[in-house]
Amino acid sequence: MDVKHYLDSTYLKTAEQANLSEEKNTEVVAAYIQEAIDHHFKLIMIRPDKVALAKEMVLNSKSQLTIGTVIDFPNGDGSLENKLKEANLAIQNGADDLDFVVDYKAFINEEFDKVKKQVLEGTELGLQHHKIVKWIIEVAALNDHQIIQLSVLIKNVIIANFKEADYEKVFVKSSTGFYKTPEGVPNGATLHTIKLMLENSFPLSVKAAGGVRTYQEAVEMINLGVKRIGTSAAKAIANGEDASNGY
Ligand SMILES: O=C[C@H](O)COP(=O)(O)O
């Protein structure tokens, strides 16, 4: 396989460059956004307070870059009212993709109705505004059974409430990249967890995020069927580098 060609033609269509630190310096954030524009990534993933800046830069550059932001990040345990408020603001500021953190602690406590309600109402809001909606399930906090169960729960809410054409606009996403794991547990997407998500959330889409550091991993995940790769190493991967030790 010609890796360079593969990266250009396939990886870039899926690549989301994540810059989710709470960086306040506008020039630093603008440089990240410019980098994503210059590398022709699919999307720049930034904190909600940076969405308006990204929108302005994308419009000025006439770039195809889309803008994603995180909602109720990184813990996902805020109220539904707050999730919807944050999402509404992000929509007003020009976000294309809304990556909501599922209240995975409520899920672990078997508060399934609470989780279903947030998935339903958050998705409804996003799709009404023609946005892509992603649900971050935080795989490192869950065991395999819970990953399967939560993927199925999200899938069932979407199938029961939305039309078929909407299914691919809703994603199950692996990780925030910010979860503090017990020693030895990988904080993020692994091939194993991604396979579980793909098998149990179809026909929804899957985004691999958290700890993706090499083009081999990215290519393997794309070949398995993920539609997006979210990583703070997007530039290194696009250059065919191994960023395992640098991030
Ligand atoms: O949404 C994307 C994640 O924050 C990326 O995680 P990462 O920094 O481990 O690549």
**pLDDT at 47 exceeding the cut of 50:** yes
- Of 4-8, 115-119, 205-209, 231-235, least confident by mean pLDDT is 4-8
pLDDT per position as a tens digit, 55-89:
999 999 999 999 999 999 999 999 999 999 999 99
Q: State whether the beta carbon of 126 lies less than 6 angstroms from ligand 1.
A: no
Q: What pTM does this model have?
A: 0.95
Q: Could you please report the per-residue DSSP string of 118-181?
A: HHHHHHHHHHHTT-EEEEE--GGGS-HHHHHHHHHHHHHHHHHHS-GGGGGGEEEE---S---P
**pLDDT at 238 exceeding the cut of 70:** yes
Q: State whether the beta carbon of 45 lies less than 6 angstroms from ligand 1.
A: yes
- Asked if the peptide bond before residue 74 counts as cis, ω within 30 degrees of 0, the response is yes
**Which domains does the chain carry?**
4-238 (3.20.20.70)
**pLDDT at 247 exceeding the cut of 70:** no
Name the residue at shortest CA distance from atom 10 of ligand 1: 231
Q: State whether the beta carbon of 194 lies less than 6 angstroms from ligand 1.
A: no
pLDDT per position as a tens digit, 193-204:
999 999 999 999
